[in-house]
Structure 1
Amino acid sequence: MSALPNSHEALLRNRDLLDGAVGLIGVTDPGLLPMLGEGGLAMSEHAGVYAALSRMPGWQACFGYDDPGLHAKSCDTLVVFLPKARAELDLRLALALWLARAGARLVLVGEKKEGIAGAVKQLRARLPDAGKVDSARHCQVWSADVAEPATEFRLADWLDWTSVVHAGVSIDVAGLPGIFSLGELDEGTALLLDSLARVPVNAERVLDFACGAGVIGSWLQRWQQQSGQVPARVDGVDVQSQAVICARATYERNGCAGGIQASDGLSGVQGKWPAIITNPPFHTGVRTDTSMTERFLREVAAHLEPGGELRLVANTFLPYEELIRRHVGSVERLEQTRRFTVYRALRR
Structure 2
Amino acid sequence: MSAETPVCQLLERQDADYRGWWWVAPPRDGWLEAGQGTAISADLTVREAWQARGRPAASPFEALPRGGETPGEGTPPGAVLFWPKSHALGEWWLLWLCATLSPGTPLQLVGENQGGIKRVLKALAALGLGCRKLDSARRCSLFETRLDRVALAPEAAWTRFEADLGSERLTLASHPGVFGHAKLDDGTRLLLGELGAALPEGRGEGRGDILDMGCGDGILAAWLARRGARVTAVDVNAFAVEAASRSLAANGLVGEALESDVYSALPGRRFDAIVSNPPFHQERAIDYGPAARLISEAPDHLNPGGRLLVVANAFLPYPDLLERAFGGFEILADDRRFRVYVASA
TM-score (norm 2): 0.89
Measure the CA separation in 2 of the matches of 1:67 and 1:126: 25
1:214 equivalent in structure 2: 218
1:227 equivalent in structure 2: none
For residue 294 of structure 1, the aligned residue among 287, 292, 295 is 292
2:28 equivalent to 1:29: yes
* Residues 200 and 304 (structure 1), Cα distance of their counterparts in 2 relative to 1, 3 Å cut: closer
Kindly indicate whether the alpha-carbon contact (under 8 Å) linking 1:80 and 1:96 is maintained by their aligned counterparts in 2: no
CA deviation vs aligned residue, 1:47-92 (integer Å, no higher than 9, x gap): 11111122344x43112x2221166982221100011211100111
Structure 1 residues 103-112 or 19-28, which shifts more? 19-28
1:126 equivalent in structure 2: 127
Measure the CA separation in 1 of the matches of 2:21 and 2:199: 51
Matched residue type, 1:50: R
Measure the CA separation in 2 of the matches of 1:6 and 1:208: 35
- CA drift of 1:319 comes to 0.4
CA deviation vs aligned residue, 1:64-123 (integer Å, no higher than 9, x gap): x22211669822211000112111001111122234334321100001121112233213
Report how many residues are paired.
Answer: 333
For residue 258 of structure 2, the aligned residue among 261, 264, 273 is 261
CA deviation vs aligned residue, 1:14-65 (integer Å, no higher than 9, x gap): 2x234564111101225233554xx3321111111111122344x43112x2
1:235 equivalent in structure 2: 232
1:136 equivalent in structure 2: 137
Measure the CA separation in 2 of the matches of 1:297 and 1:247: 22
Structure 1 residues 92-101 or 331-340, which shifts more? 92-101
CA deviation vs aligned residue, 1:192-213 (integer Å, no higher than 9, x gap): 0001134344231111100111
- CA drift of 1:216 comes to 0.5
2:251 equivalent to 1:250: no
CA deviation vs aligned residue, 1:313-335 (integer Å, no higher than 9, x gap): 00000000111111123200000
Secondary structure class of the residue paired with 2:78: strand
* Residues 320 and 12 (structure 1), Cα distance of their counterparts in 2 relative to 1, 3 Å cut: same
2:205 equivalent in structure 1: none
CA deviation vs aligned residue, 1:276-310 (integer Å, no higher than 9, x gap): 01000111112222221012222111111122100
* Residues 302 and 3 (structure 1), Cα distance of their counterparts in 2 relative to 1, 3 Å cut: farther
Matched residue type, 1:214: G
Higher share in strand = 1
Structure 1 residues 199-208 or 102-111, which shifts more? 199-208
Matched residue type, 1:106: L
Matched residue type, 2:75: S
Secondary structure class of the residue paired with 1:75: coil
- CA drift of 1:343 comes to 0.2
1:202 equivalent in structure 2: 201
- CA drift of 1:255 comes to 2.4
Identical counterparts, % of pairs = 32
Secondary structure class of the residue paired with 2:266: coil
CA RMSD across the alignment? 2.3
Matched residue type, 1:241: A
Matched residue type, 1:327: A
